[in-house]
Copies of this chain bind each other. A is one copy, B any other.
């Protein structure tokens, strides 16, 4: 998956070392922050636990499934129906929309679920995870 990488200020090459562990075991992420948007690239071990239902009052969130599957809830907190997303599926959570309570199903190659979360505007609490500062 590595390319013939050249140094380029605007490009961020896939790099296993750029994914940082979080406080939740099995959850690794890489954050890239721009002016108006912020990418949070998740690599989550299949079966990892710790997802809870939450919402963002000031941030819109787009999520795209790249590997594995995400079995989660999105909508009203008392909505019981679960949704299963696979590679190529996505969700768009406007501000204040509840989502989470997720079960992560790993893919065949890495045993991981890869989710590209994009926040707009960027979240201040993720900036300290930003990989730009360590490049």
Contact = CB atoms under 8 A, between A and B. Distances in A.
Number of copies: 2
A100 interface: no
A75 interface: yes
Contact of A10 (B8, B64, B86, B93): B93
A74 interface: yes
A69 B8 CA distance: 16
A60 interface: yes
Given A34-B92, A34-B120, A35-B94, A84 B10 contact: no
A73 to B, nearest CB: 10
Contact of A75 (B9, B32, B35, B85): B9
Interface size grouping (class) on chain A:
35 or more
Nearest to A6: B83
Interface string A76-96: 000001011111111111110
A62 B34 contact: yes
A89 B11 CA distance: 7
A7 to B, nearest CB: 9
Closest 3 CB pairs of A and B: A14-B88, A36-B120, A37-B120
